[in-house]
Amino acid sequence: MIKASAGGGGRGIRLVRAEEDLLRTVDTARSEAGASFGDTTVYLERFVERARHVEVQVLGDGETYLHLGDRDCSLQRRSQKIVEEAPAPDLPDAVRERMRDSAVDLARLCRYTGVGTVEYLYDPVRHEAAFIEMNTRLQVEHPVTEFVTGVDLVAEQLRIASTGRTRLRQDDITFTGHAVECRINAEDPDRNFLPSPGTISRLDWPEGEQYRVDSGVRAGDTVAPYYDSLLAKLIVHAEDRETAVQRMGAALAATHIEGVRTTVPLLQRLVLDPVFAAVEHHTTWIETELLGGPPRRERSETPGEGSTP
């Protein structure tokens, strides 16, 4: 894999399958990296076929370091996450423990301060996890971690920034139930996820304490073509994964957005698919198998983030 050092959002990533393609592909990746990020530096990493993307939420204040569990973010389009869940399902206990411990060790060695995410590729065939990168900020999918731990990550980030210390210790962190988040984008899945700008004429969200909607748009707002297409995050929590997925299906069925095309119909299809239920999906499953065609560009199994890496 060739990846842009300053990259994010799935840009500046290229897959090399044959040695004779290496130099040409490096040039292409560097060109895209320079245009997107103003930095042509690239690096190489191992390519994992049919990988899952699993990440660990960490927190540190320079002295105390801990993790707040893991998440699975393997449902992606164009190397950008659209469905996330916590904890990561169907992960061997030994692998989960090694990932969590190594994430905390990394934060400690870096003397990291604040909330961050350590990302891995998990190979479900070999039961191995390979380090991707550390994202040094709060991520779009942080609400699923908040649901299963009961920790307000935004408040904790602000506390560390203002006082220099966290009040949390690893023994304070407990995990309850399962949470799922869907990112709703103004895109047309039937046209290769082409952005769908326009004016929102209708916007109905599911009602009830079991649902959380993080959004900054209202009916009558105009979705411009110049920015990220993310409209909202829809999050649910339940006592187990099966119930959480069913609850998400109900939440999406109660979501109505008109005036722009959105990913809501695709998300409904995803959460009800037996492949997702059986945790047999991977980071390119949507484009290569579910939608029945190749990705728009051949990219790595290494995911980007969309709104945030």
Q: Which residues are catalytic?
A: 137
Judge contact between 49 and 301, C-beta under 8 A. yes
DSSP classification of residue 189: G
Residue 176 tokens, joined: 């309850």
Beta strands in 8-144, from DSSP E residues, in sequence order? 13-14, 42-44, 52-61, 65-77, 80-86, 113-123, 128-135
Is the peptide bond between 124 and the residue preceding it cis, with omega within 30 degrees of 0? Answer: no
Residue with structure tokens 């040695």?
19
Identity of the residue numbered 54: V
Find the radius of gyration of the CA atoms of the chain: 19
